[in-house]
Structure 1
Protein backbone atom coordinates (compact mmCIF):
# COMPACT_ATOMS: atom_id res chain seq x y z
CA UNK A 1 0.00 0.00 0.00
CA UNK A 2 1.40 3.37 -1.01
CA UNK A 3 0.67 6.51 0.95
CA UNK A 4 1.28 10.07 -0.13
CA UNK A 5 1.75 13.08 2.06
CA UNK A 6 2.43 16.66 1.14
CA UNK A 7 5.55 18.48 2.22
CA UNK A 8 3.29 20.74 4.26
CA UNK A 9 1.93 17.65 6.01
CA UNK A 10 5.44 16.42 6.76
CA UNK A 11 6.36 19.85 8.11
CA UNK A 12 3.29 19.94 10.35
CA UNK A 13 4.15 16.47 11.66
CA UNK A 14 7.73 17.49 12.42
CA UNK A 15 6.55 20.66 14.15
CA UNK A 16 4.24 18.57 16.34
CA UNK A 17 7.16 16.44 17.60
CA UNK A 18 8.63 19.17 19.83
CA UNK A 19 12.20 18.24 18.87
CA UNK A 20 15.25 19.47 20.74
CA UNK A 21 17.68 21.76 18.93
CA UNK A 22 20.12 18.85 18.69
CA UNK A 23 17.49 16.68 17.04
CA UNK A 24 16.59 19.46 14.62
CA UNK A 25 20.25 19.85 13.67
CA UNK A 26 20.54 16.09 13.13
CA UNK A 27 17.46 16.10 10.92
CA UNK A 28 18.72 19.10 8.94
CA UNK A 29 22.08 17.39 8.42
CA UNK A 30 20.33 14.26 7.15
CA UNK A 31 18.25 16.27 4.68
CA UNK A 32 21.32 18.10 3.40
CA UNK A 33 23.28 14.85 3.20
CA UNK A 34 20.56 13.18 1.14
CA UNK A 35 20.62 16.11 -1.28
CA UNK A 36 24.29 17.07 -1.54
CA UNK A 37 26.28 14.33 0.18
CA UNK A 38 27.95 14.40 3.56
CA UNK A 39 29.04 17.76 4.95
CA UNK A 40 32.65 16.68 4.65
CA UNK A 41 32.14 15.97 0.92
CA UNK A 42 30.75 19.41 0.09
CA UNK A 43 33.32 21.71 -1.43
CA UNK A 44 33.31 25.34 -0.43
CA UNK A 45 35.00 28.26 -2.12
CA UNK A 46 36.87 30.67 0.10
CA UNK A 47 36.40 34.42 0.19
CA UNK A 48 39.91 34.79 -1.24
CA UNK A 49 39.06 32.51 -4.18
CA UNK A 50 35.90 34.49 -4.92
CA UNK A 51 37.77 37.78 -4.82
CA UNK A 52 40.55 36.36 -7.04
CA UNK A 53 37.94 35.26 -9.59
CA UNK A 54 36.31 38.69 -9.60
CA UNK A 55 39.71 40.33 -9.96
CA UNK A 56 40.64 38.08 -12.89
CA UNK A 57 37.31 38.80 -14.57
CA UNK A 58 37.73 42.54 -14.19
CA UNK A 59 41.26 42.36 -15.59
CA UNK A 60 39.96 40.36 -18.59
CA UNK A 61 37.27 42.98 -19.15
CA UNK A 62 39.79 45.79 -19.00
CA UNK A 63 42.08 43.99 -21.44
CA UNK A 64 39.20 43.40 -23.87
CA UNK A 65 39.30 39.61 -23.49
CA UNK A 66 35.59 39.28 -22.89
CA UNK A 67 32.74 38.58 -25.28
CA UNK A 68 29.43 40.38 -25.65
CA UNK A 69 26.80 39.57 -23.05
CA UNK A 70 24.36 38.52 -25.77
CA UNK A 71 26.79 35.84 -26.95
CA UNK A 72 27.21 34.51 -23.43
CA UNK A 73 23.45 34.47 -22.80
CA UNK A 74 22.85 32.62 -26.06
CA UNK A 75 25.44 30.00 -25.08
CA UNK A 76 23.78 29.58 -21.68
CA UNK A 77 20.34 29.21 -23.29
CA UNK A 78 21.60 26.57 -25.69
CA UNK A 79 23.42 24.68 -22.96
CA UNK A 80 20.39 24.28 -20.71
Structure 2
Protein backbone atom coordinates (compact mmCIF):
# COMPACT_ATOMS: atom_id res chain seq x y z
CA UNK A 1 0.00 0.00 0.00
CA UNK A 2 2.88 2.35 0.75
CA UNK A 3 4.23 1.95 -2.78
CA UNK A 4 0.77 2.66 -4.17
CA UNK A 5 0.52 5.80 -2.04
CA UNK A 6 3.91 7.01 -3.27
CA UNK A 7 2.82 6.43 -6.84
CA UNK A 8 -0.39 8.39 -6.28
CA UNK A 9 1.54 11.26 -4.71
CA UNK A 10 3.75 11.47 -7.77
CA UNK A 11 0.78 12.06 -10.09
CA UNK A 12 -0.06 15.47 -11.46
CA UNK A 13 -2.97 17.37 -9.92
CA UNK A 14 -5.09 16.69 -13.01
CA UNK A 15 -4.43 12.95 -12.76
CA UNK A 16 -5.13 12.96 -9.01
CA UNK A 17 -8.47 14.66 -9.64
CA UNK A 18 -9.32 12.13 -12.35
CA UNK A 19 -8.40 9.23 -10.07
CA UNK A 20 -10.38 10.74 -7.23
CA UNK A 21 -13.52 11.05 -9.36
CA UNK A 22 -13.15 7.46 -10.59
CA UNK A 23 -12.73 6.17 -7.03
CA UNK A 24 -15.77 8.10 -5.81
CA UNK A 25 -17.82 6.79 -8.74
CA UNK A 26 -16.73 3.23 -7.98
CA UNK A 27 -17.59 3.57 -4.28
CA UNK A 28 -21.05 4.95 -5.09
CA UNK A 29 -21.73 2.08 -7.49
CA UNK A 30 -20.70 -0.50 -4.89
CA UNK A 31 -22.88 1.11 -2.22
CA UNK A 32 -25.90 1.30 -4.49
CA UNK A 33 -25.47 -2.31 -5.58
CA UNK A 34 -25.47 -3.48 -1.95
CA UNK A 35 -28.46 -1.36 -0.96
CA UNK A 36 -32.07 -2.43 -1.26
CA UNK A 37 -34.48 0.45 -0.95
CA UNK A 38 -37.55 0.42 1.27
CA UNK A 39 -39.70 0.52 -1.85
CA UNK A 40 -37.98 -2.57 -3.27
CA UNK A 41 -38.53 -4.47 -0.01
CA UNK A 42 -42.20 -3.46 0.11
CA UNK A 43 -42.71 -4.41 -3.53
CA UNK A 44 -41.20 -7.83 -2.85
CA UNK A 45 -43.57 -8.34 0.07
CA UNK A 46 -46.56 -7.21 -2.02
CA UNK A 47 -45.62 -9.60 -4.81
CA UNK A 48 -45.17 -12.47 -2.38
CA UNK A 49 -48.56 -11.86 -0.80
CA UNK A 50 -50.17 -11.65 -4.23
CA UNK A 51 -48.56 -14.98 -5.17
CA UNK A 52 -49.91 -16.60 -2.00
CA UNK A 53 -53.39 -15.22 -2.68
CA UNK A 54 -53.33 -16.47 -6.27
CA UNK A 55 -52.14 -19.91 -5.17
CA UNK A 56 -54.87 -20.19 -2.56
CA UNK A 57 -57.54 -19.17 -5.07
CA UNK A 58 -56.31 -21.63 -7.68
CA UNK A 59 -55.61 -24.42 -5.20
CA UNK A 60 -51.95 -24.63 -6.21
CA UNK A 61 -49.55 -26.24 -3.75
CA UNK A 62 -47.02 -23.83 -2.24
CA UNK A 63 -43.61 -24.63 -0.81
CA UNK A 64 -43.27 -24.64 2.94
CA UNK A 65 -40.93 -22.17 4.62
CA UNK A 66 -38.54 -25.04 5.34
CA UNK A 67 -38.46 -26.02 1.66
CA UNK A 68 -37.60 -22.45 0.69
CA UNK A 69 -34.86 -22.29 3.34
CA UNK A 70 -33.44 -25.63 2.16
CA UNK A 71 -33.14 -24.23 -1.38
CA UNK A 72 -30.98 -21.40 -0.12
TM-score normalised by the chain length of structure 1: 0.37
Q: Which of the pair has the greater relative contact order for Cα pairs under 8 Å at 6+ separation? A: 2
Looking at CA atoms only, which structure, 1 or 2, has the larger radius of gyration? 2
